[in-house]
Amino acid sequence: MLSDLLLLLLNPLRAAAEGLSQLARLEDTGSNMAGIGRLSSRTSVLLLCDMQEKFRPTIFQFTNVVSNAARLLQASRILSIPPILTEQYPKGLGPTVQELGAEGLKPHSKTRFSMLTDTVEKELASLGNPKQAILCGIEAQACIACTAYDLLERGMEVHVVADAVSSRSQTDRLFALSRLKQSGVFLTTTEGVLLQLVQDAKHPNFKEIQKLLTHSSPDTGLLAFFSSLESEKSVGTARRAVWRRSEGVERGREREKVKEKQTDR
């Protein structure tokens, strides 16, 4: 390793060539965006998870969550982002709800929690293995979480749309979002995704996306999640303050002991 570094330092032309080569690789794969989580329509896939009729009466904020997911699906069609739709045991849990607007999409039937079935894996491969996944649907602590973990293990960048994801229990939903964030998932919102995908009012599809933003996204009860994050931050700050005070007291005691020893001498 040391010899390689010396060669690079002694050979500026080689160093420049290596730098250009690395930059080209980053641009080709889109991995230059991976660190900060900037979405691109060229490298993304939209994953729509199990928004089915039988879940309607039991899922927290079901109507609003599906409404947000429907806007994401509309945007994916405008921006040519491929969508993938799954259904959990449709024989027992029914078909995808009509208001999602998924007509024309062939759902992948599954029994496992993760969306990454063999047929979905094949579809991802046929799409050139997109680098970024925009994930929405239900349930947060089950199918969404398992899908996100599988995607992360594949090396994909995962964006979970928090206001387009839910569970039967708000507790499960909020803890699942917190757990996903710990695992390296980017948490975002429907409007955040739409604006990030166009990034400029001069984008050729901006007007069409703007129409989807005419009305603000409905509240889906996420304020509690961010309040809990602030509480954790406050507790952490308080703990650090107590630690600093106790450390200062301890140092003061040590100084007093040193002075006493010097006085005794």
Query: Is 143 an annotated catalytic residue?
Result: yes
136 labelled catalytic: no
**What is the distance between the alpha carbons of residues 22 and 204, in angstroms, rounded to a whole number?**
31
Is 50 a residue of the active site?
yes
Helix axes 170-182, 223-264, angle to 10 degrees: 50
49 and 143 in contact (C-beta within 8 Å)? yes
In whole angstroms, give the CA distance from residue 4 to residue 12. Answer: 13
Of 50, 131, 136, 150, the catalytic one is 50
Catalytic site residue from 49, 110, 131, 136:
110
- Active-site choice (131, 136, 143, 150): 143
**What string of DSSP letters covers 59-107?**
STTHHHHHHHHHHHHHHHHHTTPPEEEEEESHHHH-PBPGGG--TT---
Q: Which residues are catalytic?
A: 50, 110, 143
